[in-house]
Amino acid sequence: MQPLFLLGAFKFPPIDELFRWKDVVFEDTPFAINKTAILMLVSAALIIIIFVGGSRRMKMVPTGTQNVLEMTYEFVDGGITRDVVGHDATRYTPFLGSLFLFILFLNFWEVIPFIQFPPTARFAVPFYLAVQTYFIYLIVGFKNHGMKYLTGHLFPAGVPKFLYVLVTPIEFVQLFLVRPFSLAVRLLANMMAGHILLTALALLTAYSLQNAPIVSIGPFLLNIGVTGFEILVGFLQAYIFTLLTAVYIGDSLHPEH
Amino acid sequence: MLHSLLLAVTQLQPDLKAGLQSIGAGIAYGAAAIGPGIGIGLVVGNAIQAMARQPEMQGTIRTTMFLGIAFTEALALFGFVLFFLAKS
C-alpha cells in the first residue's frame, strides 16, 4: 500500500495551462498567431497539398494516393450527402467533404506525438465551424422555401392549434439557438475531455515513475489504450459533425420529413 | 435568507467557497451524465437488435444510430461544460 500513498501529493495543473498557448508572432494584435492557429494553417495546407498532389495525374484505374482520395470522396458523397441530404444533392459534397477533412485533421493532432493538442478543443474553432453551418442551412432554407421555411418549422402541420403556444417557442429555440450551440459544444467537449484525459494519464505516469515506479505501469498502459480510443473519437466526431450538417441542410431542402 | 447566511459563512471561511463550488460542479456533471447514459444504452441496444433482425439495413441503421447518439450525448456534454463553468 505504501507506493499508492505517495501518489496523494499529485497535483493536476490549472486547466488553463492545457489550452492556453503563448502568441508566437504579432503579439497583442488581433492577428496574433499561436499553436492553435499554426495547427489550423498546417492542416489546411496539408489537405490542399494531398488533394492537389494526389489528383494531378488521375488514372482510370486508381493507385496509391488517388485510391485513398477516391475512397474519401465516396465515403462523403455516398455515405453522407446522398444518404442524408438527398440523391440530387451532390453539389453539397465539396462543402461537406472539406468540413469533414478539416475537422478530421484538426482532431488527429491530439494523438500526434510532440504536438498532442487538438485545435478543436478551443471554443473558437468549433464555434466558427458551427456558425458557418448555421448560416448555410438557414440560407438554403430561405432560398428554397422563402418564408414558408420559417412558418413550416414554427407551426408544424398536424399539431392541435392550442398546442402552438408550447410548440412554437420550443421550435424557435431549437432552430436558432440549440442547433448551432449543441453542434459546437459536442465537438468541443469531446476533444477537450480527450485532451484532459490524455494529459492526466501522462502526468500521472511521469509523477508515479519518480515516486513509485511499479504503479506507473497502470496509467502508462491506460494511456496507450486511451490514445487508440481517442483516434476513434476524433474520427467519429468529424463524422458526426458532418452528418449533422448534412441533416440540417437536408431539413432545409425538404422540410416535410 | 439562505443566501445571506451562505455569504456570512463564506466570509468566515474563504476556503468554503471553493469547496462548495467543487461539490456543486461534481454533482452537476454526475447528474447530467445519468440520463444520457441510459439514453445511449437504449439507442445502441435497439440499433443492435434492429441490425440483428434486418442485416441488410445495416448501413441506414448505423447512420441513424450515430445521429441518435449525437443528440443524446449532447446533454451530457452540456453538463461537462457546466462543470468547468461552475468550478471557475
Q: How many alpha carbons fall within 13 Å on the CB side of residue B18?
A: 3
Phi, psi values for residue A25, rounded to 5°: -125, 165
Burial class of residue A91 in the structure, from the number of CB atoms within 10 Å of its CB (0-12 exposed, 13-18 middle, 19+ buried): exposed
Section B3-25 average pLDDT: 78
Which among B63, B73, B80 has CB closest to A83?
B63
Section A19-37 average pLDDT: 85
For an interface test with A, give the residue of B77, B81, B87, B88 to mutate (most A CBs within 10 A): B77
Helix pair A93-108, A124-145: axis angle to 10 deg: 170
B2-5 contacts: CB < 8 A, separation 24 or more? none
Predicted model pTM: 0.87
Q: Do B81 and A189 touch (CB under 8 A)?
A: yes
pLDDT-based confidence at A9, cuts 50/70/90?
low
Is residue A193 less than 8 Å (CB to CB) from chain B?
Answer: yes
Which of A88, A111, A80 lies closest to A240 in space, CA to CA?
A80
Q: Do A243 and B66 touch (CB under 8 A)?
A: yes
B8 Cβ contact partners less than 8 Å away, ≥ 6 residues apart? none
Q: Do B70 and A84 touch (CB under 8 A)?
A: no
Which of A153, A160, A157 lies closest to A179 in space, CA to CA?
A153
pLDDT-based confidence at A1, cuts 50/70/90?
very low
Other beta carbons within 10 angstroms of residue A107's beta carbon come to: 27
Q: What is the mean pLDDT of chain B?
A: 86
User: Which residues of chain A have a CB within 8 Å of the CB of B78?
Assistant: 182, 185
Retrieve residue B56's grid coordinates.
Answer: 441488410
Q: Say yes or no to pLDDT of A41 above 90.
A: yes
Q: For residues A123 and A130, what is the distance between their CA atoms, to the nearest angstrom?
A: 11
| pLDDT per residue as tens digits for the range A143-178 | 998 888 888 888 888 888 888 888 899 989 988 998
**Residue A6: predicted pLDDT:** 58
What is the Rg, in whole angstroms, of the alpha carbon atoms belonging to chain A? 23
Q: For residues A73 and A75, what is the distance between their CA atoms, to the nearest angstrom?
A: 5
Phi, psi values for residue A199, rounded to 5°: -65, -45
Q: For chain B, give the number of residues.
A: 88
A84 near A76, Cβ under 8 Å? no
Distance from CA of B72 to the nearest CA of A (A): 11
Distance from CA of B14 to the nearest CA of A (A): 19
Q: Do B67 and A15 touch (CB under 8 A)?
A: no
Is residue A190 less than 8 Å (CB to CB) from chain B?
Answer: yes
pLDDT-based confidence at A20, cuts 50/70/90?
confident
| pLDDT per residue as tens digits for the range B32-72 | 999 999 999 999 999 999 999 999 998 889 888 998 998 88
The CA-based angle A40-A46-A50, given to 5 degrees, is 155
For an interface test with B, give the residue of A80, A182, A183, A187 to mutate (most B CBs within 10 A): A182
A77 near A85, Cβ under 8 Å? no
The ipTM assigned to this model is 0.74
B82 → chain A, closest CA residue: A189
Other beta carbons within 10 angstroms of residue A235's beta carbon come to: 15
pLDDT-based confidence at A246, cuts 50/70/90?
very high
Is residue B78 less than 8 Å (CB to CB) from chain A?
Answer: yes
Is residue B74 less than 8 Å (CB to CB) from chain A?
Answer: yes
